[in-house]
A and B are shown apart, each in its own frame.
Chain A
Amino acid sequence: MTAVATQQLIDFSYIAAVIGFILALKWLSSPASAMRGVLVGEIASGVAVIATLFDPQVTHYKWIIITLIIGAAIGVPLGMVKMTAVPQRTALSHAFGALSAALIGIAEYYVGTPHLSKFEMVEIGLEVIIGSLTFTGSLIAAGKLQEILPQRPITYKGQNVVSLSTLGAAIALMLILTVHPEYTHLFEAMVVVALLFGVMLVTPIGGADMPTVISLLNSYAGFSAALLGFVLNSKVLVVAGALDGASGFILSVIMCKAMNRSFTNVLFGAFGQVQISAGKVAEQRAVRSASPEEAAGILAAANKVVIVPGYGMAVAQAQHKVRELFDGLTKRGIDVKFGIHPVAGRMPGHMNVLLAEADIPYDKLLDMDEINGEFAQTDVALIIGANDVTNPAARTDNTSPIFGMPILDVDKARTVMVIKRSMGAGFAGIDNPLYYMDKTLMLFGDAKNFVGAIVRELAGGHE
C-alpha cells in the first residue's frame, strides 16, 4: 500500500473511533444500553490503536510493543480494584491521563525548539501547564482518598495569593519563552512551577469536597488532551478530549449545585475556615437513642422505608449488611427505597456503585429529586453515615454555612433513625437539628455492626 493510502486508512479508522466514542456516551444514558456503549468504546479505541501501529512515521516497534504490554499489565490490576477504592483509582487515572498528555507536549517542545512559532509555543505551554498541574493535583487527591495524606483541608494564611501567584509565574515563564525561545531552561522551570501549583491547588481541599474536585480534575485531564490535539493537529484527540472535558465539567457543575457552592468557593473558599468559625459549641441537648431491637421493631411495623446512605456507610463497609437489611424488609412486604444525594460519598455516583455491588437492584436507587416527594408518605427514614445532606438547617437557618444547599427531606418522614458513631458534627462542623427532633431516634454504633444487629433481630423475630 502506498503511504498516502495508508494514511487515509488511518484517518478513516480515527473517524470510526470518534463515532464509537459518541455512541458509547449516548448509550450510557441508561443502565439497559450502557454495556453496549462500553463495547463500542472498546472496539473504537482498539481500532484506533491498531491503525496507529501501521502509521509510516512509526519505525521502531520493539519498545512500543513492550510499553503497551507494561501498560496493560498496570491497567488490569487498576481495573480490578474493589468498588470502595474506585474514587482513588479514578483520581489516579486522571493523573495518568494528564501525565501522558503533558509528556507528549514536553517531547513536542524539545523536538520543535527553537523553531516553534509564538503561537505554537503558547499552545504547547498551556497544554503542558494544564497537564502538569492536573497530574500532581490528581496524585494529591488520590493520596487523600487513599488516606495516605490527611483528608482534612490543609490551609494557611495568604494561601490563595501564594497559589495564584504560582500559576501566574508558570504563565509568565511561558510568555517569556515566546519572546526568548533560546532559554530552554525556562521551559523546565515552567513545568516544575506548574507541578507545584497542582499540589497547592488540591492540598487545601477537604475530603467532603472531593466529588467536585475529582470532577474538575476529570475536566482538566480532558481539556489537556484536547489541547494536545490542537498541538499535534489530531482531531481524534480534540474530540475525545472535548467529550471528556465536557463530562468532567458537567459533573463539577452538578456537584457544586448539590452543595450550593461555586467553583471558586470550592477551589479557593477553603471550607476549612468556615469549619472553624461555624463550629459553634453545640449545646447539650437531649437526644433519644434506641437499641437494635427497638429499631428492628419499628422497621418491621413500617410499610415504607427509605434508606439514606452516606460516606459513613462506605467507611464502615456496611453495604453488604445493608443489602441483607433490604432483603429482610422486602421479604416482609415492606417497600424499601434508597435516597441518594448527589454529593454523598467521595465521587459522583459513589453510593450507587457500592449499592449495586452489594446486589441492590438499581430501580430502588433514587436520586434526590425523585425521592424527596416520597418522604411525606414514608414511615421510616433510616440514615446510615450521612449528616450534612440531611440537615434541615440548610432549608431554614440562613446563618448556617450550608444554608441553601439542597438536602434530602428526611425530616418529613414519620420516624427518622440515624446510625452514627457518636454525636460528633459532620464535615461542615455544624450541628444537625434533625437529631433533636421528637421523631428522631439515634442509633449509636458502627454502621456495619448496627445494621447487622437489626438484621439478626428481624430474622429472629420472624421465626
Chain B
Amino acid sequence: MPADFISSLFVFILAAFLGFELIKRVSPLLHTPLMSLTNALDAIVVVAAIIIAGRHETKLSTLLGLIAVVASFSNMVGGFLITDRMLHMFRSAKAKKS
C-alpha cells in the first residue's frame, strides 16, 4: 500500500474520531445549522477543483474542474450565508428583552 495512503488514513481516523467527539456536543437545537455549516466546510473541495482546472492538462479535465468550482464554491458561499442567518435567529429570552 502506498505511503501516502497510510498517512491519509492516519489523518482520516484521527479527524473522524475528533469529529464524533465534537459533534456529540452540539446541542440538538442547532442540528440544522450544524448540517449547513459542515456542508460549507466540506465545500473546501473547491481547492482541489481550482487546481484541476488551473493545471489545464486536458480540455475535459479543465471543463470538469471548472464545473466543480461552480458547484463547490456555491456551496461554500450559500452554506456560510444560511448558517449565519439561522444562528442570528437563535436568541435567548434574556437577549430579546435587552
- Interface residues, chain A, CB within 8 Å of chain B? 14, 17, 21-22, 24-26, 28-31, 34-35, 37-38, 41-42, 45, 48-49, 52-53, 55, 57-61, 63-64, 67-68, 70-81, 83, 86, 89-90, 93-94, 96-97, 99-101, 103-104, 106-108, 110-111, 117, 119, 123, 214-215, 218, 221-222, 225-226, 228-230, 232-248, 250-251, 254, 340, 342, 347-350, 352-353, 356-357, 359, 361-365, 367
Are A76 and B77 within 8 A (Cβ)?
yes
A240 vs B2: C-alpha distance when bound (angstroms): 22
Q: Map CB proximity to A onto B26-49 as digits: 1 under 8 Å, 0 otherwise.
A: 111111111111111111111111
Are A235 and B11 within 8 A (Cβ)?
yes
Q: Which residues of A contact B50 (CB under 8 A)?
A: 49, 52-53, 55, 58, 64
- SS of B interface (majority): helix
Q: Which residues of A contact B61 (CB under 8 A)?
A: 107-108, 110-111
A210 vs B47: C-alpha distance when bound (angstroms): 31
- With A60-B56, A60-B62, A233-B8: A242-B16 Cβ-Cβ less than 8 Å: yes
Are A29 and B26 within 8 A (Cβ)?
yes
- With A78-B78, A94-B39: A119-B2 Cβ-Cβ less than 8 Å: yes
Closest chain B residue, CB of each to CB of A89: B82
Are A104 and B48 within 8 A (Cβ)?
yes
- Most chain A Cβ neighbours within 10 Å, of B45, B50, B81: B45
Q: Which residues of B contact A353 (CB under 8 A)?
A: 32-33, 86, 89
A34 vs B51: C-alpha distance when bound (angstroms): 32
- Smallest Cβ distance from A239 to chain B, in angstroms? 4
Are A97 and B42 within 8 A (Cβ)?
yes
Closest chain A residue, CB of each to CB of B13: A242
- Smallest Cβ distance from A127 to chain B, in angstroms? 11
Partner among B4, B67, B90 whose Cβ is within 8 Å of the Cβ of A233:
B4
- With A100-B49, A222-B38: A76-B19 Cβ-Cβ less than 8 Å: no
Closest chain B residue, CB of each to CB of A78: B78
Are B74 and A75 within 8 A (Cβ)?
yes
Q: Which residues of A contact B68 (CB under 8 A)?
A: 99-101, 103-104, 107
Are A57 and B54 within 8 A (Cβ)?
yes
A425 vs B37: C-alpha distance when bound (angstroms): 36
Are B39 and A22 within 8 A (Cβ)?
no
New A-B contacts (19) at CB < 8 Å, excluding given A78-B78, A367-B29: A17-B44, A25-B19, A38-B87, A41-B80, A49-B47, A63-B62, A64-B69, A75-B73, A97-B43, A99-B67, A99-B71, A103-B71, A104-B45, A108-B52, A237-B48, A348-B35, A350-B32, A352-B30, A356-B89
Q: Which residues of B contact A356 (CB under 8 A)?
A: 86, 89-91
- Most chain B Cβ neighbours within 10 Å, of A73, A232, A243: A243
Are B47 and A72 within 8 A (Cβ)?
no
A76 vs B82: C-alpha distance when bound (angstroms): 9
Q: Which residues of B contact A242 (CB under 8 A)?
A: 11-12, 15-16, 19
- With A96-B72, A246-B20: A63-B66 Cβ-Cβ less than 8 Å: yes
Q: Which residues of A contact B12 (CB under 8 A)?
A: 226, 229-230, 238-239, 241-242
Q: Which residues of A contact B18 (CB under 8 A)?
A: 22, 243
